[in-house]
């Protein structure tokens, strides 16, 4: 760990009368350094304006202090919001994040997995992609199983059958039930579900919980009120158009995310329907879009800060070879805005 001015971790250790390992622990913010040794080391670090060679330090500590984050698309508000919180939490723990966008391509996703392992990151946070496939291929499953042999990986809002990985997920099922409670409280009995992709676990779970809850409550339920064209604004427009042309349409719709909700609202308004006067609309994820798109979209908040905090804590625990809860569920909550109202019978 030589510096251009000749100051090394070993020189600081010698002058502070401690071991090089103690200096490294001070540099990484470890709590396992007692006073007055810690103060002596910090004083010398400040005196020499010492900045360690990160690569040399990682070799010495056998840690890179880097985490990989693999996700489908940083442009999507859900992912950008959770990644921002993941980076914040990691930074507080002394880690730097390497962000990898798979661009919804499984080949690129696998290449990033392999690359992060070759770069010897200490751990990986995995979002979307293969862990959201209800029935992933054996090749995708095998790739993940192999990766887990080399590095700790934590899944966020996803899982893979037959893959022994730690998972942190939000309680999306509870989010669906809370939205239905809100709508029925407003007098809605005929409710539809728009957006998503069948075969993607988050969609499949929401559809299942929606059907189950509607039947439990004895609400009006028709299969053609469930329409899944994707997660985009365009998908919302397409799914709303499908409902508009039905002889009997619902008085309210749940949408798979805020993009779909915005597309649906745009299309309903285009055909002369008032939101929420003629039809109420809810979103999911509670992104900045829900807050700023008129009339303001009622949406399920994914509790991003808690989700990120639990994810990073779990991953760092695994890196330290500490026992961690296999699956943790983070509560969601509904942010009520102006896209829902009382149904006028």
| Residue 345 belongs to some domain of the structure | no
**Distance, CA of 336 to CA of 296 (rounded, Å):** 9
Residues 252, 322 within the same domain = no
Residues 180, 248 within the same domain = yes
Structural domain of 235 = 172-301
Residues 153, 253 within the same domain = no
| Residue 176 belongs to some domain of the structure | yes
pLDDT at 10: 85
CATH number of the domain within which 201 lies:
3.40.50.2300
Residues 49, 81 within the same domain = no
pLDDT at 29: 67
pLDDT at 1: 43
**Distance, CA of 37 to CA of 307 (rounded, Å):** 36
> What percentage of the chain's residues is helix, strand, coil (to nearest 5)?
45, 15, 35
Q: Is the peptide bond before 276 cis (omega within 30 degrees of 0)?
A: yes
Cα-flanking dihedrals φ and ψ of residue 100, to 5°? -125, 110
Residues 216, 137 within the same domain = no
| Residue 342 belongs to some domain of the structure | no
Q: Is the peptide bond before 278 cis (omega within 30 degrees of 0)?
A: no
| Residue 339 belongs to some domain of the structure | no
- Residue 148's alpha-carbon distances to 124, 288, 293, in angstroms, are 10, 34, 41
**Distance, CA of 332 to CA of 296 (rounded, Å):** 19
pLDDT at 53: 60
pLDDT at 4: 42
Which of 61, 78, 94 is a domain's end point?
A: 61
Cα-flanking dihedrals φ and ψ of residue 342, to 5°? -60, 140
Residues 176, 202 within the same domain = yes
pLDDT at 3: 45
| Residue 288 belongs to some domain of the structure | yes
Residues 137, 166 within the same domain = yes
Cβ(169)–Cβ(327) under 8 Å?
yes
- Residue 311's alpha-carbon distances to 166, 167, 275, 325, in angstroms, are 9, 8, 37, 11
pLDDT at 23: 84
Q: Tell me the pTM.
A: 0.82
| Residue 340 belongs to some domain of the structure | no
Which of 279, 301, 323 is a domain's end point?
A: 301
Sign of the alpha-carbon torsion through 109, 99, 173, 337: negative
Q: pLDDT of the chain along its 345 residues, tens only?
A: 434 457 888 888 899 999 888 887 787 666 678 899 889 988 988 888 887 665 555 555 567 789 999 999 999 999 999 999 999 999 999 899 999 999 999 999 999 999 999 999 999 999 999 999 999 999 999 999 999 999 999 999 999 999 999 999 999 999 999 999 999 999 999 999 999 999 999 999 999 999 999 999 999 889 999 999 999 999 999 999 999 999 999 999 999 999 999 999 999 999 999 999 999 999 999 999 999 999 999 999 999 999 999 999 999 999 999 999 999 999 999 999 999 998 876
Q: What is the DSSP letter of 251?
A: S
Which of 37, 61, 85 is a domain's end point?
A: 61
Q: How many separate domains does the chain show?
A: 3
**Which residues lie closer than 8 Å to 45 by C-beta, 6 or more apart?**
12, 26, 27
CATH number of the domain within which 47 lies:
1.10.260.40
Task: Give the pairing of strands 252-255 and 191-194.
Answer: parallel
Return the exposure string of 37-47: e unless at least 16 CB atoms fall within 10 Å of the residue's CB, then b. bbebbeebbee
Residues 201, 311 within the same domain = no
Residues 219, 152 within the same domain = no
Residues 119, 211 within the same domain = no
Residues 248, 210 within the same domain = yes
């Amino acid at each position: 760990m030589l510096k251009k001015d000749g100051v090394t971790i070993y020189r600081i250790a010698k002058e502070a009368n401690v071991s090089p390992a103690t200096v490294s622990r001070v540099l990484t913010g470890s709590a396992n350094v007692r006073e007055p040794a810690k103060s002596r080391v910090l004083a010398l670090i400040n005196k020499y304006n010492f900045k360690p060679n990160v690569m040399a330090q990682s070799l010495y500590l056998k840690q890179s202090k880097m985490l990989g984050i693999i996700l489908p698309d940083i442009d999507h508000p859900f992912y950008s919001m959770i990644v921002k919180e993941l980076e914040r939490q990691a930074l507080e723990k002394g880690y730097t994040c390497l962000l990898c966008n798979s661009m919804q391509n499984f080949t690129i996703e696998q290449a990033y997995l392999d690359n992060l392992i070759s770069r010897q990151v200490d751990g990986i946070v995995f979002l979307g992609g293969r862990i959201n496939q209800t029935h992933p291929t054996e090749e995708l499953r095998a790739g993940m199983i192999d990766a887990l042999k080399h590095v700790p990986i934590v899944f966020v809002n996803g899982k893979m059958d037959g893959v022994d990985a730690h998972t942190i997920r939000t309680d999306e099922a509870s989010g669906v039930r809370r939205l239905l409670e809100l709508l029925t409280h407003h007098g809605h009995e005929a409710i539809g579900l728009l957006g998503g992709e069948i075969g993607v676990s988050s969609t499949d779970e929401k559809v299942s919980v929606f059907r189950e809850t509607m039947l439990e409550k004895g609400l009006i339920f028709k299969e053609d009120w469930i329409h899944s064209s994707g997660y985009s604004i365009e998908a919302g427009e397409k799914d709303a158009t499908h409902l508009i042309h039905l002889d009997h349409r619902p008085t309210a719709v749940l949408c798979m995310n805020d993009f779909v909700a915005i597309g649906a609202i745009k299309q309903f308004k285009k055909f002369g329907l008032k939101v929420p006067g003629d039809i109420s609309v809810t979103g999911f994820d509670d992104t900045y879009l829900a807050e700023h798109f008129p009339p303001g979209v009622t949406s399920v908040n994914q509790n991003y800060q808690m989700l990120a905090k639990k994810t990073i804590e779990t991953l760092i625990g695994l890196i330290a070879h500490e026992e961690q809860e296999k699956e943790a569920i983070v509560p969601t909550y509904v942010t009520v805005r102006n896209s829902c109202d009382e149904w006028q019978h």
